């Protein structure tokens, strides 16, 4: 067994999740860019964009930490 064999699940989870989150953020920003902005809705894009940028990477970080093969915690 090689030294990196235990990291396989970590890289699968982090790599696929990061790709999906980048794609999701691209779709959200593209859809928001095409919508007409009314006078009182100028900050709506920022209100929906910031939670996506903050919460999704936080969940990705937690999943990565949980799936990493730490030797000291188990």
- The predicted pLDDT at position 39 comes to 65
Q: Which long-range contacts (CB under 8 A, 24 or more apart) does 13-19 make?
A: 13/63, 13/64, 13/67, 14/60, 14/63, 14/64, 14/67, 17/60, 17/63, 18/60
Q: Does a structural domain hold residue 1?
A: no
- The predicted pLDDT at position 40 comes to 61
For residue 68 the two structure tokens come to 């990493």
Q: Does a structural domain hold residue 74?
A: no
For residue 23 the two structure tokens come to 């794609």
Q: Does a structural domain hold residue 26?
A: yes
Q: Does a structural domain hold residue 14?
A: yes
- The predicted pLDDT at position 68 comes to 80
Q: Does a structural domain hold residue 58?
A: yes
Chain segment 17-53, per-residue pLDDT in tens: 888 888 888 887 787 777 776 666 656 666 666 777 7
Tell me how many domains the chain contains: 1
């Amino acid at each position: 067994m090689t030294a990196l064999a235990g990291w396989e699940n970590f890289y699968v989870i982090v790599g696929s999740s990061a790709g999906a989150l980048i794609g999701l953020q691209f779709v959200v920003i593209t859809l928001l860019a095409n919508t007409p902005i009314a006078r009182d809705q100028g900050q709506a894009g920022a209100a929906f964009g910031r939670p996506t940028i903050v919460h999704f990477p936080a969940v990705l970080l937690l999943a990565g930490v949980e799936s990493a093969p730490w030797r000291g915690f188990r």
